[in-house]
């Protein structure tokens, strides 16, 4: 007699494992999606940081060059070298225009990157929602089978308890 109970307990345990497998698949799927989304956002942040760092370095370099040229201009003016001063002034103006152009390009690049990140986020969100909807549909399709199996097991073990003279409601 004890061997029958032992074997039947293993069947119930194996069915519970099947339930846990479905839950594990769902949990793993949700975890994987969250990890992918996190990695995507981290990559985008790294891109933004690198672009900002390069733009800042470029801006600093251009500002330094502008200061140098302005200093040279002052020096040329103080020495009375009109031709040299005019050349320096042209260079300083060209450097200033170059700096302004670089800043405009940086702003344009950042705007494009932000738009690209927003597009990618929207696509990933759409994929995530689609995957979750498919998962829910599959779970809804399997739920009646699980409910039926649970009801059969419940009835089976309830009957076994009665065979042993136990009232299932008392347990």
- The predicted-structure confidence for 55-96, as pLDDT tens digits, reads as follows 888 888 888 988 988 888 787 777 766 677 678 888 989 999
Taking the mean position of all CA atoms in its chain, how far away is CA 31? 12
16 pLDDT higher than 60: no
Locate the domains of the chain by residue range.
29-159
Mean pLDDT of 30-41: 88
Q: Can you tell me the distance from the alpha carbon of 37 to that of 121, in angstroms, rounded to the nearest whole number? A: 9
Q: Can you tell me the distance from the alpha carbon of 35 to that of 59, in angstroms, rounded to the nearest whole number? A: 36
Mean pLDDT of 114-127: 94
* The two three-digit tokens of residue 15, written as one number: 């069915």
Opening angle at CA 47, ends 54 and 115, nearest 5: 110
What was the pLDDT predicted at 169? 80
Burial class (CB in 10 A: 0-12, 13-18, 19+), 30: middle
Q: Can you tell me the distance from the alpha carbon of 106 to that of 56, in angstroms, rounded to the nearest whole number? A: 9
Nearest to 153 by CA among 18, 1, 2: 18
133 pLDDT higher than 90: yes
What was the pLDDT predicted at 19? 55
* The two three-digit tokens of residue 7, written as one number: 């074997």
Give the global pTM. Answer: 0.37
């Amino acid at each position: 007699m004890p061997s029958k109970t032992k074997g039947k307990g293993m069947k119930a345990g194996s069915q519970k494992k099947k339930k846990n497998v479905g839950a594990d698949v769902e949990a793993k799927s949700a975890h994987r999606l969250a990890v992918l989304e996190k990695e995507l956002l981290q990559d985008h942040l790294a891109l933004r940081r690198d672009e900002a760092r390069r733009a800042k370095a470029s801006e600093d370099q251009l500002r330094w060059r502008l200061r140098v040229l302005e200093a040279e201009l002052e020096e040329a003016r103080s020495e009375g070298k009109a031709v040299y001063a005019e050349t320096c002034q042209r260079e300083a103006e060209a450097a200033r225009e170059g700096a302004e152009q670089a800043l405009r390009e940086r702003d344009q690049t950042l705007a494009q990157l932000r738009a690209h990140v927003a597009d990618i986020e929207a696509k990933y969100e759409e994929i995530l929602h689609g995957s979750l909807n498919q998962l829910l549909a599959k779970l809804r399709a399997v739920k009646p089978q699980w409910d039926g199996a649970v009801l059969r097991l419940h009835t089976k073990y309830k009957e076994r308890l009665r065979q042993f003279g136990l009232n299932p409601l008392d347990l």
